[in-house]
Amino acid sequence: MGLAAFVAFFWSTVAAAQTKSPAGHPAIVASGFIYEQAPYPQCHASTIVETSPGKLVASWFGGTAERNPDVCIWVAHFENGHWTEGVRVADGAQGDGTRLPTWNPVLFQAPNGGPLVLFYKVGPSPSTWWGMKMTSMDGGKTWTEPERLPKGILGPIKNKPVVLANGAWYSPSSTEGGPDGWIVHFEVSHDSGKTWGIIGPVDKGVGFDAIQPSVLFHRDGRLQALCRTKEGVVAMTWSNDNGTRWSPLAATELPNPNSGTDAVTLSDGRQLIVYNHYAHRPDLSGKGYRYPIDIAVSLDGVKWDHALTLDAEPLEAGYAYPAVIQSADGLVHITYTWDRKRIKHVVVDPKLL
C-alpha cells in the first residue's frame, strides 16, 4: 500500500478510536500544572528527568511567543510534593548585544554520578539554530556557563537521549532545513558527551518528512525510533546493530497531526508513547488540531493499543510536545504544553494501563 493510500485508509479508522477517558481513570495518580502564573504569556516544549530517586526536574521555553528573541529556558524542581517556581537559566543573548530565541530544552541525567545536562537550541528558526548545553552537578540548582556544541552537532532535538548497552550516549536528532526537507539522524558520544559523531541520515522510505525521534529498546536487542511526520502518521525505523544503521522510515498505525510525540520503554518491556490521537485532515484548519492527547502501549512496537486519553477538550492551541519518563518507583511522568499557556504534569501507574 502506498503512502497516500495508507493515510486515506488510516484516517477512516481514527474517529472510532477517539474516546474521552472517564474522569478519575484508575491509572492517573496525579495531574496538575507545574505553574499557574508566569512572567511571560506563552510556553512550550517541556522536558522532564529524574535526577535521583524521587527528585524530578523539568524545563521548557517561555516568552511572549515562540521565535521571539525574549524566549528563554526555564527550570523547576519537584520538591515536597509540589513544583518550585520556574527559574530562568538560559537565554539567547549574543556577544554583540543582540538577542535570539531559545528552543526545545532537553534534560539528560548522565549515569554513574555524572552531571545533569541541559541541551537546548539558539537561533532565529529551526532551520538555522545551533546546539547548546549546560551542566549541573547539584541536580539543576546551579549551572555551568552555556557552551556551544561542536559544529554540525545539534544535540537532542526534542526528546531525551538514551544510554546504549555499550555505555554510549545516544541522542535522537533531526533537521528541518535544506532541499531534502525534514531529516532524522542520531548523534552518539562514547566519552560521556566530550565528543560526538553523527549517524544517518535515516532513509525517508516512501517519502516521509520526519523529525524528533524517540528511541526505544526491545528485548531481542533491536532499537526502534518513533518520529513525528507531515504525512498524518507516526513513522518508525529499526536498528539491529545497536544504532549503527537504521531501516528506512515506515508508517505505524498511530496518527500524527504533524505534532511532537515522545515514547519510553517501560521496565516490564512494553513500549509507551504519548501522542495526539488525531489525524490532520486537509479540509480542517490547523488551529486546535493538537487534541486530544493520549497514551498508547505496545508489546512489539508494531501493534499499539490505545490506553488512556489525558486531555480531550478542544483548546485554541491544544495539547502538544509531550515528554515522558519512568521514574525509579515505576510510575510514568508526563509533561506537555497546555494551550501554550502552562505546562501540565501527569503521573500514571503503567500497571493499570
pTM of the predicted structure, to 2 decimals: 0.93
What's the pLDDT tens digit per position in 186-219? Answer: 999 999 999 999 999 999 999 999 999 999 999 9
Residue 121 backbone dihedrals phi, psi, to 5 degrees:
-120, 150
Q: By three-state DSSP, how is residue 200 classified?
A: coil
Domain ranges of the chain: 35-352
What does the pLDDT read at residue 2? 54
Q: Are 198 and 152 in contact (CB under 8 A)?
A: yes
The residues, ordered by sequence, that sit 6+ positions from 51 with a Cβ below 8 Å of its Cβ are: 57, 109, 116, 139, 140
What does the pLDDT read at residue 339? 96
| Residue 150 to residue 130: CA distance in whole angstroms | 9
Burial class (CB in 10 A: 0-12, 13-18, 19+), 273: buried
Q: Are 331 and 347 in contact (CB under 8 A)?
A: yes
| Residue 58 to residue 338: CA distance in whole angstroms | 15
Burial class (CB in 10 A: 0-12, 13-18, 19+), 54: exposed
What's the pLDDT tens digit per position in 16-50? Answer: 333 344 457 999 999 999 999 999 999 999 999 99
Residue 260 has pLDDT above 50, yes or no: yes
Residue 9 backbone dihedrals phi, psi, to 5 degrees:
-65, -40
Q: Are 323 and 264 in contact (CB under 8 A)?
A: no
Q: Which fold has domain 35-352?
A: Neuraminidase (2.120.10)
Residue 287 has pLDDT above 80, yes or no: no
Q: By three-state DSSP, how is residue 290 classified?
A: coil
What's the pLDDT tens digit per position in 306-340? Answer: 999 999 988 889 999 999 999 999 999 999 999 99
| Residue listed under C-alpha cell 529524574 | 50
